Amino acid sequence: MLIPALDLISGQVVRLKQGDFDQKTVFALDPVQKVKEYAAQGAALIHLVDLDGAKDPKERQLGLIAELVASSPCPIQTGGGIRSYEDVEELLSLGVKRVVVGSAAIKNPELGLKLLTEFGPEAITLALDVKLVDNVPMVATHGWLKLSEQSVYDLIAQFSSAGLKHVLITDIAKDGMMQGPNVALYAQLTARYPELDIIASGGISSLEDLKALRAIHMKSAVLGKSLLTGAFTLEQALALWPND
């Protein structure tokens, strides 16, 4: 599945380079109209990142998220600063299909297991932001500022018992850089975890990148800056990689 993404700050569509708020590009787009456009072009799921909520959960753009969910013809996946059970519960009550949980589950595995068990694996996407250390994908937290002592393998093993299904993997070095995804990393992960929906995120900049991911049997990929800058259209992408 190809998943168009919108990053949101104060109701505006933006993109950051490697998660840096000081390297921000603002796009003159209405997020509600953009969501409708992606749905009309064939999107089966849309990924929203609430960057205000990521900075401060008290600033979560709940009104905008509710408006986007209500106006979207297709389901919404959203994340950004999810800290608690109540945060997940609130977003699901707005009609969000899947909530993306990262640092909170990594720091508090009991919370992650509880979310998967109580809301079900289809309602939770585990987000793992990685940095390769001696070719091992280590997980970063706190908006990529801190490197944990856990690898992707450790965390997937930890949550598999609760039925983990969707795992969003972002290579920090690639995100927002438009230099191509880390195909070798994703090939390793898809071969190791064929039962999981590993979602590639970061660096996809061309249709050739999509062909390379499709060739390694990637199940899903997030498309952000590539669509916003017109590198290719969603229709072109879906012609190569139809939604399953």
What is the tens place of the pLDDT at every residue in 185-217?
A: 999 999 999 999 999 998 899 999 999 999 999
pLDDT value of residue 87: 96
Q: Are 61 and 50 in contact (CB under 8 A)?
A: yes
Active site residue 7: yes
Report the domain count for the chain.
1
Catalytic, out of 7, 50, 87, 175: 7
Contact 91/38 with Cβ under 8 angstroms?
no
**Across 154-174, average pLDDT:** 92
Domain that residue 73 falls in: 2-238
Using left for φ > 0, alpha for ψ between -120 and 50, and beta otherwise, residue 134 falls in left
Q: What percent of the chain has pLDDT over 70?
A: 95
Q: What mean pLDDT do residues 146-158 have?
A: 88
Q: Is residue 77 part of a domain?
A: yes
Q: What is the CATH number of the domain that holds 171?
A: 3.20.20.70
- Examine residue 243 and state whether it is found in any structural domain, yes or no: no
pLDDT, residue 145, reads 56
Tell me if 175 is assigned to some domain: yes
Nearest residue to 212 via CA among 177, 186, 183: 183
- Cα 184 to Cα 181: distance, rounded to the nearest angstrom: 9
Arithmetic mean of pLDDT over the chain: 92
- The reported pLDDT for the residue numbered 122 is 98
Active-site residue among 52, 129, 197, 209? 129
What pLDDT shows up at residue 49?
A: 95
When pLDDT is averaged across residues 123-137 and rounded to a whole number, the result is 91
Per-residue tokens: 47:
């990924």
Structural domain contains residue 244: no
171 flagged as catalytic: no
- Is residue 198 domain-resident? yes
Phi-psi group of 101: left, alpha or beta (phi > 0 → left; psi -120 to 50 → alpha; rest → beta): beta
The Cβ-side half-sphere exposure at 218, using a 13 Å CA radius, reads 30
Taking only the tens place, the pLDDT of each residue in 5-58 is 999 999 999 988 766 777 788 899 999 999 999 999 999 999 999 999 998 989
pLDDT at 131: 87
pLDDT tens digits for 77-108? 999 989 999 999 999 999 999 999 998 999 99
- Whether 114 is covered by a domain: the verdict is yes
Tokens for 17?
Answer: 């380079």
Query: Could you give the count of Cα atoms lying within 13 Å of 197 in the half-sphere of its Cβ?
Result: 17
